[in-house]
């Protein structure tokens, strides 16, 4: 007890017996205790970390010496007088989970760390209140809620970013209509909201811009506590049905090929329509919206309606009118993300007897691996040249874009003479405004390119060039992107809700003329994947392409 009293006196009164740079740190943990984020009785501890220890380690422990909820510790820190240290308090749970403070000094960007300048004498930081990261409350089953004032500030920043930084805010929707929509949605901020509720306020605005690269996404912190809370089904839309084509995580009791009729008591068609209506798309392209809703359904559903641990699914059995019900336990974000954003696929198949090759490219997103991509393409066309292949099926279905420095080299193997890729000089892509030299092993046979509603951004540019110059035939369905898109996107984080906002700052147009800005690129031969053919294991689009081989 004598040691406790002495330490208290040192910290509170600042006696001159301290060594140099002895600092008394104090933090008020009452709010964290009240919210059950910090439970000392279960072995939770309060830890100090900072740049003086590399932001790691648990030896800097603060203690509540008299049960008043104020935790303190005296530590000797290195540094000459005038040195500024940065630090934060954190809760170390008994299971080793760590809850960091959130932005205790917001003006100290980017992490809002606390700061203290060393004087060479004994110092006392004063009593600080632990600044709780509200997203951490989800870990203890409490709702994550933001005040009206916080939401209004975030809304104002959201609007400011669009009005000041977006390259083409009024291209698809007139300013008067956008202003009215801003005001209408702002008027909804009359009560505290959870993150997904605030998203529902902002989403109609982003969707109304008509720009597929300007959108909203939930904070990474939102997904941190989504473990076991996402729908575990992969879906594709066929003939207007949401068809189960795979699982995220463990196998589920809903058979592959089933049609989801209702989810949590709501008709699936209504849910798809709602999610599609608020999905950002170039010129409001419905093909792109529907394809993206199917692809990202588990995360889009959670983004709009919140997280849940179980899902009630009513479904029709494959190829039958009989329906059944299942209660599905949620899966994890990483399992869903693997199905959505997994490793890009590059595949090449040679069918020598048919004098045919199939080149599958489902992404141009090799920004940091362009030589790898171009090396693969080079090797494919060397093989095509060597074997005298007459027919090439280029499968771009599901390819939602990527680096023009990948698409342009592919174009060089398909063009019949040098054509410019871009209509103008765009920053680092300026040289693509010059005619792209024809590749040494350029293909001169029968080209059949497969497209669908997910073909977007860079893929839209490439397909527009093929269409414009009459290079081969396009088979499939209308693309989700067209010859022009807005990109050079800035990523912003709204300071309170931490929703991620993406704002396009520039437009990029392929070197074509007289193409329709408000529609995707149309195929010469329209073919869609039908449900009955899927059940039979048939790829309707590929079958049609192969029938065109000479």
506-533 pLDDT, tens digit each: 999 999 999 999 999 999 999 999 999 9
**In the prediction, which pLDDT does 108 show?**
95
Say how far apart CA 381 and CA 440 lie, in whole Å.
9
**Cα separations in angstroms, 312 against 251, 315, 329:** 16, 10, 9
**In the prediction, which pLDDT does 339 show?**
84
Say how far apart CA 73 and CA 65 lie, in whole Å.
10
The dihedrals phi and psi of 431, each to the nearest 5 degrees, come to -65, -15
For the residues of 289-315, what is the DSSP string, one character each? Answer: HHHHHHHHHHHHHHHHH---SEEEEEE
Q: Which of 543, 542, 529, 546 has the alpha carbon at shortest distance from 245? A: 529
Average of per-residue pLDDT across 373-395: 97
The dihedrals phi and psi of 38, each to the nearest 5 degrees, come to -125, 115
- The residues, ordered by sequence, that sit 6+ positions from 168 with a Cβ below 8 Å of its Cβ are 211, 486, 504, 507
Average of per-residue pLDDT across 223-238: 95
Question: Residue 3: pLDDT band by 50, 70, 90 thresholds?
Answer: very low
Q: pTM of the predicted model, to two decimals?
A: 0.88
For the residues of 197-208, what is the DSSP string, one character each? Answer: HHHHHHHHHHHH
**In the prediction, which pLDDT does 155 show?**
98
> Which of 155-164, 239-248, 342-351, 435-444 has the least mean pLDDT?
342-351
Question: Residue 20: pLDDT band by 50, 70, 90 thresholds?
Answer: low
Query: 2.30.42.10, 3.40.33.10, 3.30.470.20, 1.10.1240.10: which CATH number matches 233-340?
Result: 2.30.42.10
Question: Residue 10: pLDDT band by 50, 70, 90 thresholds?
Answer: very low
Say how far apart CA 507 and CA 498 lie, in whole Å.
27
In tens, the pLDDT along 455-499 reads 999 999 999 999 999 999 999 999 999 999 998 899 999 999 999
Q: Which of 480, 475, 473, 455 has the alpha carbon at shortest distance from 528? A: 475
- The residues, ordered by sequence, that sit 6+ positions from 187 with a Cβ below 8 Å of its Cβ are none
Residue 1 clears pLDDT 90, i.e. is over it: no
Neighbouring-strand partners of residue 92: 45, 98
CA 237 to chain centre: 21
Bigger pLDDT: 550 vs 441: 441
**In the prediction, which pLDDT does 6 show?**
36
Average of per-residue pLDDT across 424-444: 97
Looking at domain 2-140, does it have CATH number 2.60.40.10? yes
Give the rounded percent of residues in the chain with a pLDDT score beyond 90: 89
Say how far apart CA 204 and CA 280 lie, in whole Å.
9
Domains 2-140 and 343-482+519-547 share a fold: no
Q: Which of 488, 481, 224 has the alpha carbon at shortest distance from 332? A: 224
**In the prediction, which pLDDT does 78 show?**
86
The third-level CATH classification (topology) of the domain covering 343-482+519-547 is 2-enoyl-CoA Hydratase; Chain A, domain 1 (3.90.226)
**In the prediction, which pLDDT does 471 show?**
98
CA 443 to chain centre: 36
For the record, the structure tokens of 184 come out as: 């209408």
Domain boundaries, the chain: 2-140, 233-340, 343-482+519-547
CA 346 to chain centre: 22
Alpha helices in 311-403 (DSSP H): 333-341, 370-386
In tens, the pLDDT along 103-155 reads 999 999 889 999 999 998 899 998 999 999 999 998 888 889 999 999 999 99
């Amino acid at each position: 007890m004598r040691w406790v009293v002495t330490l208290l006196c040192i910290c509170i009164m600042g006696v001159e017996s301290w060594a140099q740079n002895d600092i008394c740190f104090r933090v008020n943990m009452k709010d964290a205790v009240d919210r059950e984020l910090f439970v000392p009785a279960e072995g939770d501890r309060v830890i100090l970390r900072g740049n003086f220890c590399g932001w790691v380690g648990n030896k800097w422990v603060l203690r509540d010496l008299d049960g008043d909820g104020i935790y303190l510790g005296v530590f000797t820190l290195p540094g000459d007088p005038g040195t500024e240290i940065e630090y934060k308090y954190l809760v170390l749970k008994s299971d080793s989970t760590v809850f960091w403070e959130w932005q205790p000094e917001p003006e100290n960007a980017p992490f809002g760390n606390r700061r203290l300048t060393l004087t060479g004498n004994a110092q006392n930081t004063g009593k600080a209140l632990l600044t709780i990261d509200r997203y951490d409350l989800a870990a203890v089953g409490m709702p994550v809620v933001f005040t009206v004032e916080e939401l209004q500030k975030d809304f104002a920043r959201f609007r400011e970013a669009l009005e000041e930084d977006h390259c083409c805010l009024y291209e698809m929707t007139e300013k008067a209509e956008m202003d009215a929509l801003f005001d209408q949605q702002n008027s909804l901020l009359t009560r505290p909201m959870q993150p997904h509720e605030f998203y529902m306020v902002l989403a109609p605005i982003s969707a109304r811009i008509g720009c597929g690269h300007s959108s909203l996404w939930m904070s990474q912190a939102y997904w941190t506590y989504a473990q076991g809370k996402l729908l575990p089904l992969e879906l594709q839309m066929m003939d207007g049905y949401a068809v189960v084509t795979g699982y995220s995580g463990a196998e589920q009791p809903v058979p592959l090929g089933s049609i989801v009729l209702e989810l949590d008591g709501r008709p699936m068609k209504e849910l798809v329509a709602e999610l599609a209506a608020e999905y950002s798309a170039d010129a409001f392209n419905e093909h792109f919206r529907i394809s993206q809703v199917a692809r990202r359904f588990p995360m889009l559903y959670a983004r709009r309606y919140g997280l849940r641990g179980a899902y009630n699914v009513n479904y029709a059995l494959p190829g039958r009118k009989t329906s059944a019900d299942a209660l599905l336990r949620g899966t994890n974000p990483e399992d869903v993300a693997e199905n959505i954003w997994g490793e890009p696929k590059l595949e090449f198949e040679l069918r020598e007897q048919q004098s045919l090759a199939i080149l599958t490219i489902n992404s141009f997103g090799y920004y940091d691996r362009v030589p790898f991509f171009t090396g693969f393409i080079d090797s494919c066309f060397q093989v095509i040249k060597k074997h005298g292949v007459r027919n090439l099926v280029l499968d771009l279905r599901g390819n939602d874009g990527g680096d023009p420095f990948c698409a342009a080299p592919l174009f060089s193997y398909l063009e019949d003479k040098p054509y410019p890729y871009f209509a103008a000089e765009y920053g680092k892509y300026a040289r693509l405004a010059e005619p792209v030299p024809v590749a040494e092993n350029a293909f001169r046979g029968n080209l059949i390119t497969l497209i669908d509603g997910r073909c977007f951004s860079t893929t839209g540019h490439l397909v527009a060039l093929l269409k414009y110059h009459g290079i081969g035939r396009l088979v499939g369905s209308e693309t989700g992107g067209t010859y022009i898109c807005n990109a050079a996107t800035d990523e912003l984080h709204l300071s309170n809700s931490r929703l991620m906002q993406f704002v396009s700052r520039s437009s990029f147009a392929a070197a074509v003329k007289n193409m329709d800005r408000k529609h995707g690129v149309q195929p010469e031969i329209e073919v869609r994947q039908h449900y009955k053919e899927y059940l039979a294991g048939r790829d309707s689009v590929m079958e049609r392409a192969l029938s065109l081989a000479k």
